[in-house]
Structure formats: C-alpha cells, structure tokens
Amino acid sequence: MSLHAAIRLPDRDLDLVLDVASGRTLAVLGPNGAGKSSSLSAVAGLLRPESGEIRLDDRVVFSDSGSGRSQWVPPHDRGVALLAQEARLFPHLSVCDNVAFGPRSTGMRRGQSREAARRWLAEVDGVDLGRRRPSALSGGQAQRVALARALAAQPRLLLLDEPLSALDVDAAPALRQLLRRVLRDRTTVLVTHDILDAVLLADDVAVVEGGRVIEQGPTSQVLTRPTSAFAARIAGLNLVRGVARGTSVVTVTGLRVEGLTDEPLQEGQEAVAVFTPSAVSVFRRPPEGSPRNVIAAQVTELEPHGHQVRVRTPHLSADVTPAAVAELGLAPGTPVVLSVKASEVAVYGV
Amino acid sequence: MTARRRPLGLPVWVFLPALVGGAFVVLPLLSMLTRIEWGRFGALVTSPSSVAALGLSLRTSLLSTALCVLFGVPMAVVLARAQFRGQALARALVLLPLVLPPVVGGIALLYTFGRRGLLGHTFEVLGVHVAFTTTAVVLAQTFVALPFLVVSLEGALRTGGTRYEDVAATLGARPTTVFLRVTLPLVLPGLASGAVLAFARSLGEFGATITFAGSLQGVTRTLPLEIYLQRETDPQAAVALSLVLVVVATVVVTLTRRSRTVL
C-alpha cells in the first residue's frame, strides 16, 4: 500500500510531506531533533498533527485543514506497525505470546495465533526463543522478536524508527540482513541516522532537517550526489556498484573491490561494496605488502572535513591528515593510488 | 539485586534526629507491650465481643477493599491516562478524604445516605436502610481508603508510561484489549500494594465509622471501636486488642513492601 503524509506540527516546527509508493522503502535521514520520530508517530496514530492529511492508499486516516471538519482513525485501526529503537517487548508475556499479540488482538484464537507466532519467529530465525521471557533475551534477539511481532500483526505499512541504533556492533549486521529480506516487497518508512541502513534497505531517501524535507530522491542519487549540506556530510560513504565475483564487486569499467560478505553471494548478481573514506589510504606509488584493493585515480578536489582533509577522486574519496596532504604534495590533478583493506569493505548483494 | 550499594557519605549529625524520630514511633509500641498482662491475654482477645469485632473488621475491610479496587482502578486510569478539562480539580477532590478528618467524612456520608440524606430518601423508598448498618461500615471504610488505592495506582501508571500501550495499539489491539492485556498486568504490583494499603486503612478506620455507622456489637462495632469502648471499662482488654491490630498492621506493611520489591 502507498503512503501519503502531509504533517504540520507548528509547536515542533514540523512541516513536511512524505510519499512512499507501494512496496517501496523510504529512508528518512536527518540529524537528531529534525522531526523524524514525530513524523512516524503521526503516521502510526500516536501523535495528532495540528493539521495536514495522512492517506494510506485512498483511505484518509487523518485530515484536518485547520478549519472545520477533521478526520481521525485510531492507531489500532490503521494497519500500521511501528518498530522502535528499543524492542519494547511486553515484559509479562513470553516471546511466543508477544509475537501472538497482534493476531490475538484482531480476533484469532489462541491456538491459531500461537501457530502464526511460530511461523513469524521462524521468519526471524527465532523459533528456539519462543518459551523465553523478554528479560532473558540479548538486545539483538529482542529486536528480532519485536520485528516478528510487528510482522505478525500483518501491517500494510511498516514503520521502523532507528531499529538498529540500540544494538551493539556485532548484532546490527545480522538484523540488517534480516531486514533486507523482509522489507523487500513491503511498504516501509525507515527512520535512521546510519547511512548504511539507507544504502542497503531503502529504495528512496528523504533528508529531513529542521522539520522540513530538504532533499528527496532515489537512494543512489541522493547519496552519491547530495545537494544538501547534511546529506553531503553523512553521505561521504564510498559506494562501488557492480556485479559479484567471489567476495568482490567488479564494476563495468573493470574496477575490482574485494571485501567481506555476511552471506554468500551468487556469481554475477548485482552487488555493492561500501566503505568509509577514513578506511582509504592515499599513496603516490603502489604500496607493497598486505593484500589490499589498489585503485589508481586522480585527485579532483581537497576539502576540510573536521580535523582531516577529504581527498576526492572521480569515484572515491579518502580522509587523510593535513600533514599527509603536505607530505604527499596533493593538489587537484595529482595522480594517486588509493588503497583499502578488504577487511574494511562490506560487500552486499542488492 | 544482590550487589550491595555503597553507603553514601551521609553527614553524621543526620543520624541523631533520625534516631529520635525512630524512637518516637517505636517507644509507644514497646510501652504498650509492657502493660499487657500476658496471663489474661488469650482470654481477653478471645472474648465474644473481641472475636465479633475482629471478625466484623476483617469482613468489612475485605469488602471495602474489593469496592476500592472495583472503582479505584478505573478512577486511577482516568486520572493517569485521560485528558479532560478540570482534571487537576478532579484529582484534588478524589484525594480529599486523605486529608479530611474522618469524622467530617462520616458526617458527609450521613447527609448523603442517612435517613434524611440526599440519597437516603431514595434508598428509604426502596426499603434499604444504610445508616447504622454493616453496609454503612463498608461505605465509611471505602470512603476513607479509596484515595490510598487511587494514589498508589496512579503513581504506578504514570511511572510505567504509555510505551507498551502504544505498541499494543499499533499491533491492532482495541482500547479494551490494551487495558486488559497490557495496562492492568503491568501495574499489578502497584495495584497489589494499593489494595493492601486500602485494606490497612479500612482496618484502622474509626472516625467515619462511629459517626455514620454507630457502634452496635456484631453489626457496626469494628475492632478500633471495640478498643475505644473497652478502654473505658477494661483497659487491659483494650491494650490486648491493640496488640492484635499492631500485629495485623505489621503483616500488612511487610506484604506491601514485598509486593513493591517484585517490581
């Protein structure tokens, strides 16, 4: 189902429009306090905007033009599930009963709802967690169960509010993979501050700052050619698109980037290699020694980036210290060799 | 939690007034113990009038606790979760019996349910007499105990917040389902301690009861009333019965503390 949300909340300085086409995932990026979570709450029906209109397909679930007639559908009647930063599993229910909560609440019998719960737990690789109490789960497990619980309610729109940000570094990749699988054909709004989530999970990106959408478009376009300062700041990631060969990505121009994968890739499937500019080292001559990705390029631009200098080349960028810039004698036009360890590169199928 | 908290660096002088205050509470109880004639203790607390008073007290207190739960839970939920105009005033009014002298409460009840009271006439027509019956005892106790349950439950509801209820609603649960399957189970410890407090308050209720229900043995003469009467005629019996109340109160307070640590 598709979503159209025009939300105005003057006391939170929020005035934005979000559109998600059926079956697509929209990532909402932006700094803290930009109004991302308030927007999700409004769509879920937990927060009433001052004015605006929220439509799910053709059904108006909220409308208020500020004068006269208004419409309001309560949250339980919207078919919209919300997965927040913390799992918020009901502490008095077992994992299985948590997942069965949605089906039970909409009139399914106990036995059937448990059956459904087991099915959805299997979907998130959590069948063996069913009998446990939420307090006996790790952060990653709890978030998987929360995802199963949200999916079991069979929402037509899924809202994810920074679902990975409370997880530790080890647990996040596994859940991200899981989300990639289950979000594929679902209509989803994903609020995140992590650019990697947007790259891997979203078809489209909306950048929100100060309560307004300042940039919107297909993910690859917004992230590689950002026009807003915020998107440029966070979207510094190096993205190399191509096809999978073993654990590396080969582009149409023959550039090969080796990396690590969470799950095996099929030969020739579309894939993307992602790594941060700080993982890239800059040399004047090809380095010797440890196996690395070595890419020849020409400097196009140098710009200050915090305490470092961002070295831009046509496709990739690297962060180096000002001292290194001086030592290497870098300037626009300088031919350089970029090097990045395979262990710093994440390769994902897309 | 098994780990012991590190003692805070308290100023030493704080212990002195704390000790004096503690002694002020404990000393009267101890001095009461010294006055008990243990030889007659059994006979005193098992005399027909004592047993009747204790039985009546327990029965009426249980009933009034049940009434407190029945009406107090919805009251606490409305105060903690709903938003309406005059909410602050409503809360103040509900909590009024907490600070009102119980005698005043008794008089108010008399003017409501008494023979010539606001609703008394209606009851009269229906053939129901409320004042000076066991029903009056239960009403008086409920009147004074209700705020205790409402206050502690409202506190528990506010501390708990609405995060789980929000999740339940987005999973498709209607308000009634959310209330029964999420709100109530989560505040059960708060409800339990509120109910215990209400029970304890009912058990000790004196002023409103004697004003509104009188003191008829076996009908309206609860344990506190019995103690007060015995004090005139047989101080020994009064002291012995007081000890019974102290024991019951101690058990109740211990239960409350235990149910709080469950949280």
**Per residue in A180-206, pLDDT tens?**
888 888 999 999 877 778 888 899 999
Instruction: Summarize the confidence of residues A91-101 as an average pLDDT.
Output: 95
Backbone angles phi, psi at A293, to 5 degrees: -85, 125
Alpha-carbon gap, residue A62 to B84, rounded angstroms: 22
Per the CB < 8 A criterion, the answer to whether B191 and B209 are in contact is no
Model-wide pTM > 0.80: no
From the list B96, B105, B92, B100, the residue with the least C-alpha distance to B140 is B105
Instruction: Summarize the confidence of residues A321-333 as an average pLDDT.
Output: 90
Residue B261: the pLDDT is: 47
Residue B10: the pLDDT is: 85
Nearest-CB residue to A90 (from B174, B175, B182): B182
Residue B262: the pLDDT is: 43
CB contact under 8 A, B172 and A150: no
ipTM score here? Answer: 0.78
Residues 125-154 (A) with a CB less than 8 A from some CB of B: 149-150, 153
Residue A82: the pLDDT is: 93
Q: How many residues does chain B have?
A: 263
CB contact under 8 A, B168 and A106: no
Instruction: Summarize the confidence of residues A167-175 as an average pLDDT.
Output: 77
The residues of chain B scoring below 50 in pLDDT are 1, 261-263
Nearest-CB residue to B185 (from A88, A92, A102): A92
How would you write chain B as a 3-class SS string? CCCCCCCCCCCHHHHHHHHHHHHHHHHHHHHHHHCCCHHHHHHHHCCHHHHHHHHHHHHHHHHHHHHHHHHHHHHHHHHHHCCCCCHHHHHHHHCHHHHCCHHHHHHHHHHHHCCCCCCHHHHHHCCCCCCCCHHHHHHHHHHHHHHHHHHHHHHHHHHHCCHHHHHHHHCCCCHHHHHHHHHHHHCHHHHHHHHHHHHHHHHHCCHHHHHHCCCCCCCCCCHHHHHHHHHHHCHHHHHHHHHHHHHHHHHHHHHHHHHHHCC
Q: Which domains does chain A have, with CATH numbers?
A: 3-234 (3.40.50.300), 238-349 (2.40.50.100)
Instruction: Summarize the confidence of residues A31-45 as an average pLDDT.
Output: 89
Q: Tell me what percent of the residues of chain A surpass a pLDDT of 90.
A: 43
Residue B248: the pLDDT is: 85
Residue A232: the pLDDT is: 63
Distances from the Cα of A328 to the Cαs of A36, A283, A286, A311, A341, in angstroms? 42, 7, 13, 12, 20
Identify the band that residue A221 occupies on the pLDDT scale cut at 50, 70 and 90.
confident
Instruction: Summarize the confidence of residues A93-122 as an average pLDDT.
Output: 93
Per the CB < 8 A criterion, the answer to whether A157 and A3 are in contact is yes
Residues of B in contact with A149 (CB under 8 A): 171
Alpha-carbon gap, residue B227 to B208, rounded angstroms: 16
Is A102 touching B (CB cutoff 8 A)?
yes
pLDDT tops 90 at residue A225:
no
pLDDT digits (tens, 9 = 90+) for A118-133: 999 998 888 899 899 9
CB contact under 8 A, A80 and B170: yes
CB contact under 8 A, B174 and A82: no
- Average confidence score pLDDT of chain A: 87
CB contact under 8 A, A102 and B172: yes
CA distance B46 to chain A (A): 44
Could you state, in order of their start, the residue ranges of all structural domains in chain B? 57-261
Nearest-CB residue to B171 (from A45, A92, A101): A101
CA distance A103 to chain B (A): 8
Answer yes or no: CATH 1.10.3720.10 is held by domain B57-261: yes
Residues of B in contact with A75 (CB under 8 A): 166, 169-170
Is A163 touching B (CB cutoff 8 A)?
no
pLDDT digits (tens, 9 = 90+) for A240-261: 888 988 888 898 888 889 888 8
Residue B80 neighbours by CB under 8 Å, 6+ apart: B153, B154, B157, B158
Chain centre to alpha carbon of residue A64: 31
Q: What is the strand order of the sheet A204-209 is part of? A: A80-83, A157-161, A188-192, A25-29, A204-209, A212-218
Q: Which residue has the higher pLDDT, A251 or A291?
A: A251
Nearest-CB residue to A153 (from B171, B175, B186): B171
Q: Among all chains, which residue has been given the structure tokens 């989530």?
A: A197
How would you write chain A as a 3-class SS string? CCEEEEEEEHHHCEEEEEEECCCCEEEEECCCCCCHHHHHHHHHCCCCCCEEEEEECCEEEEEECCCCCEEECCHHHCCEEEECCCCCCCCCCCHHHHHHHHHHHCCCCHHHHHHHHHHHHHHCCCHHHCCCCHHHCCHHHHHHHHHHHHHHCCCCEEEEECCCCCCCCCCHHHHHHHHHHHHCCCCEEEEECCHHHHHHHCCEEEEEECCEEEEEEEHHHHHHCCCCHHHHHHCCCEEEEEEEECCEEECCCCCEEECEECCCCCCCCEEEEEECHHHEEEECCCCCCCCEEEEEEECCEEEEECCEEEEECCCCEEEECHHHHHHHCCCCCCEEEEEEEHHHCEEEEC
Distances from the Cα of A88 to the Cαs of A52, A118, B44, B117, in angstroms? 29, 19, 56, 51
Say if strands A335-341 and A292-298 run parallel, antiparallel, or are unpaired.
antiparallel
Residue B76 neighbours by CB under 8 Å, 6+ apart: B149, B150, B153, B154, B157, B194
Burial A270-295 (b: 16+ CB within 10 A, else e): ebbbbbbbeebbbeeeeeeeeebbeb
Per the CB < 8 A criterion, the answer to whether A102 and A149 are in contact is yes
CB contact under 8 A, A81 and B171: yes
Residues of B in contact with A84 (CB under 8 A): 167
Identify the band that residue A81 occupies on the pLDDT scale cut at 50, 70 and 90.
very high
